Structure 1
Amino acid sequence: MTTPLTLDTFRADLAEQLHQDPHEIDLAENPLEAGLDSLRLHTLAERWRAAGADVTFVDLAEGTSFTQWWQLVSPGGTADGPPRD
C-alpha cells in the first residue's frame, strides 16, 4: 500500500532530490533552475504516480514552478489552488 501524497510528502520528495531540507523548498521556484534534471523528473513522476497522481514526465517538464507541480499531483487537483506555505 502506498502513502497518499500530501504537501509534506511532496516537499520531502523535492528536498530529497535537491539535497535540501523540506522547509527550504521555495514552491514558487522553477524546478529546472532549482537544479532538477530529467532523471530526477522521471524519478519524481514515477514516485507520484505510485502514490496515485496522474502525472507524466512531460507534465513535470512543462511546469514552471513547484506550485504548478503540486496542482498537477495534489489529490484535489487544480481545484485546490496553490499550496500555502
Structure 2
Amino acid sequence: MNQTLSSERILADVAEILGCDTSEIGPDENLFDLGMDSVRLMTLTERWRSAGALGLELPDLAERPELAHWIGLLTGKRESP
C-alpha cells in the first residue's frame, strides 16, 4: 500500500504508542492485549495517513489487531518485524 512505511517504522510506531520496547511485541500478538485502545488506534491511523497511507481506515486495523497483519496491510507484503 505504501512505500514510505516500512515494517520497522510500523513496529516502532506501535511500540512508541504502547510505551514498550519493540522486542515486547510479537508479530501475531493481539495488540489490544498489550494496551492498544481506540484513541491510540486513531492516533496511529492519522500518523500513517500523514505518511502516505491515504486509504487507511480505523476498522482496517481494528478488525485484526496483529502487527503482522498491519505490516501486510500498510506495506503490501507479509513481513516479520
Unaligned runs of 5+ in 1: none
Instruction: Quote the offset at 1:24 in angstroms.
Output: 2.6
CA contact (8 A) 2:27 2:66 kept: yes
Unaligned runs of 5+ in 2: none
Indicate the residue corresponding to 2:35 in structure 1.
35
1-structure distance, mates of 2:17, 2:65: 17
Instruction: Quote the offset at 1:67 in angstroms.
Output: 0.8
Comparing 9-18 and 64-73, the one that deviates more: 64-73
2-structure distance, mates of 1:44, 1:73: 12
Indicate the residue corresponding to 1:21 in structure 2.
21
Provide the TM-score with structure 1 as the length reference.
0.80
Instruction: Quote the offset at 1:68 in angstroms.
Output: 0.9
2-structure distance, mates of 1:55, 1:72: 9
Amino acid of the residue matched to residue 36 of structure 1? Answer: M
2-structure distance, mates of 1:64, 1:13: 14
SS at match of 2:32: helix
Identity %: 42
SS at match of 1:32: coil
Instruction: Quote the offset at 1:15 in angstroms.
Output: 0.5
Provide the TM-score with structure 2 as the length reference.
0.84
Structure (1/2) with the larger helix percentage: 1
Amino acid of the residue matched to residue 67 of structure 1? Answer: A
